[in-house]
Amino acid sequence: MSFPGRPRGALETLARSTYFVNLPRLTLSAVLTRNRRHFGASSSPLIPLLKKSAERPSLEALKWYACGPTVYDSAHLGHARTYVSQDVIRRVLTDFLGQDVIFVMGITDVDDKILQRAMERKEDPRALARRYEADFLADMRALNVLEPSALVRVTEHIRDIIDYIKQIDTNGMAYETSSGVYFDVRAFSKKFAYGKLKTKDRVRSANAEAPVGREEGQQERIGVDVVGMDEKKDLRDFVLWKFNKPGEAAMSWDSPWGRGRPGWHIECSAMTQHLLGPHLDIHSGGVDLCFPHHTNEIAQSDAFRMSEDPAWVGAWLHTGHLYIKGLKMSKSLKNFISVREFLAGHDADDFRMFCLQRRFDADVDYSESALLEARSLRQVFINFVSLAQQRVHVLSRDGCKRWGAKEFEIMAELARVKVGVRKAFVQGGLDTPQVLRLLRDLVGLGHEYLRQGDGKAEERDGTEARGEVVSNLAAYVAKLLALLGLRCFNQFTLLHRGSLSGADVESLAKSLVDFRARVRAAALEGRRRRPRDGSDVEEKEGTTAALAQRLLVLCDEFRERDLIELGIQVKDTGVGECSWTLASPSSAPCEAADQKLDVPGVTLLASRRPK
């Protein structure tokens, strides 16, 4: 269907540019009728899409729009949970199922809250919005969230928004008051159904004071803050174009109705129409946005198209709330932890593992103990993959090659796990907790297998683990966890991509570590030397002792920074002696920081990361 003055969305054209496949539209019945009693994997709106992509990935890219932040403050862990969960779904679609996805994120950079914050700080609202936008994007990179295919700002789509409102007005579903232009719900309801999305019952007795099913401050956005509310025809009517109030000229634009700025809901509908056309495959956001934001987006889009069949959106994906001490994490309750505060003392991979341990659409409780549990599980996987990679080279070189019953059993179990993972992703509606359970069981089996015939080479009798089997187990675990966005496993997958073999990496690591050990030994020897006259000059600039001290510092920095970034963890065991292991680049510093150099006359403590 075409509209006056509305060209096909630019990214819609791109999505169709390879080879058009008429993919059946996804059903909305599950998401529109679900309630607390039967809201679960069986009714997830994601399942039809996953099944379709699993059976035959469409040559036409899926079009996905995600509501992004209102950039007036820093992002907190509640926001992070939404964007990390979306990132996991996107990675599964693209990297696991092979489905191309065009992922567009909207940035609300004009809003009452932005204006209010700018006035409080006596700052230009546009500059404030750009600063917080940059902070948000930096936070997402730190959390290893993939960049969107396109990032759209409201302030750069004002003309598109005005044209969109004009079309709704032409279709008889908007009216003007002294405060702005409003959507006419009664007029809309004569032709179409309003309020298609049904929200889950998410009330918690401990959270009674917090608005349920609404974004922070969303109750004000519905109408309480609108001048001339008495002029609304229906309490459900919402603003499309808001006229300026005194002091708001800094963010205002001319329009056919008067100078002002867009309402909250109209932004997403207009921007997606411009980029992606009249239909979306996926639209996502926090469950807070279900009403009124996404409900009103649907109404606007149906009014613009003058049609509700096919549905504007194929699958609505809503992430659950993040609670802390029984209350929803929110800025209004001042119980939030910003992403930057969190990352100052924790690893981004631990938060992602925390998210993976829960379904994306479930409400979750955040606590330090829950995060510790996630960190421990991540370390279980790291330890296995690291141990396996250490052992694979020796086993493959010196061990028996012939497969016996145990090897066939192990490989059959690996095949069963792969089937189970695919089932959890596709039929389970991205059941990541089940995926982690399957991987943990596989790791337990792998450890048991590695202990088989363990001993010195000359004592082996052919019962030892086969290097190729161990390599297959470790490669699958590392590859899948890296696919889910756990950054610490990227280095492990390099061993199986052909750029460097496991032996090459081990040789490189051994050479680096041996060189450091020799330099360190020489430095320790020089550090202990004293002048024959007994004077204490070891700290004087230019002396052998001072040089030795500097070399020791460099060795420590090399161990704690450079080697760790390469995923190599070194433990000094004595003068000229050390041990090393391949480990997580992000987790190794925790252990390295606790190492103490215990040499007579020398006490050096490795620098620690900020807590």
pLDDT tens by residue, 461-489: 566 888 889 989 999 999 999 999 999 88
Pick from 203-212, 345-354, 590-599 the range whose average pLDDT is largest.
345-354
pLDDT digits (tens, 9 = 90+) for 253-282: 999 999 999 999 999 999 999 999 999 999
> What residue segments make up the domains of the chain, in order of their start?
58-366, 372-494, 502-605
Residue 73 has pLDDT above 80, yes or no: yes
Q: What percent of the chain has pLDDT over 70?
A: 72
pLDDT tier for residue 530 given thresholds of 50, 70 and 90:
low
pLDDT at 250: 87
Instruction: Report phi then psi at 285, rounded to 5.
Output: 170, 180
Global pTM?
Answer: 0.75
pLDDT tier for residue 354 given thresholds of 50, 70 and 90:
very high
Instruction: Report phi then psi at 262, rounded to 5.
Output: -70, 155
511: number of Cβ within 10 Å:
10
Residue 321 has pLDDT above 80, yes or no: yes
CB 585 within 8 A of CB 566: yes
pLDDT digits (tens, 9 = 90+) for 535-578: 554 445 456 777 777 778 878 887 887 777 666 778 777 766 77
pLDDT at 333: 78
pLDDT tier for residue 129 given thresholds of 50, 70 and 90:
very high
pLDDT at 203: 36
pLDDT at 50: 78
CB 434 within 8 A of CB 492: no
Torsion angle of C-alpha atoms 81, 84, 85, 91, degrees rounded to 10: 180
For residues 239 and 246, the model is more confident at: 239
pLDDT tier for residue 335 given thresholds of 50, 70 and 90:
confident
pLDDT digits (tens, 9 = 90+) for 506-518: 666 666 777 777 7
pLDDT digits (tens, 9 = 90+) for 60-69: 899 999 999 9
CA distance 146 to 342: 19
Residue 392 has pLDDT above 60, yes or no: yes
pLDDT at 124: 95
* CATH superfamily, domain at 58-366: HUPs (3.40.50.620)
CA distance 357 to 382: 16
- The CATH class that applies to domain 372-494 reads mainly alpha
End-to-end CA distance of the chain: 57
Residue 217 has pLDDT above 60, yes or no: no
